[in-house]
Amino acid sequence: MALIEPRYPAGKRGRPPVGIERKLGIRFLQRWYGLADEALEDTIYDSQAMRSSAGIAMGAQSVPDATTVLKFRHLLDALI
């Protein structure tokens, strides 16, 4: 978390950013199930188990789109 926070968007413009913990959980799901960014987005919409694992309650939190997942993945890759 301490490595990611300095490079994570502050949310001063546009939509508020998705929490780092939620994005990390989504990234873990993506790696564990070998899903592409678009497939991950679709799977989270379709699967209650995936939404629960990612900490997303439909209606309360939005599912991050494939581009958001891609940008976060690139951020993590840059840190390694």
pLDDT in tens, 50-68: 999 888 887 777 888 899 8
pLDDT band at 36 (very low <50, low <70, confident <90, very high): very high
Q: What is the pTM of this model?
A: 0.79
Read off the pLDDT of each residue in 74-79 and give the average, rounded to a whole number.
88
- Banded pLDDT at 2 (limits 50, 70, 90): confident
How many other CB atoms are there within 10 angstroms of residue 78's CB atom?
A: 8
Other Cβ atoms closer than 10 A to 65: 12
Q: Is the pLDDT of residue 1 over 80?
A: no
Q: 10: exposed, middle or buried (C-beta count within 10 Å: 0-12, 13-18, 19+)?
A: exposed
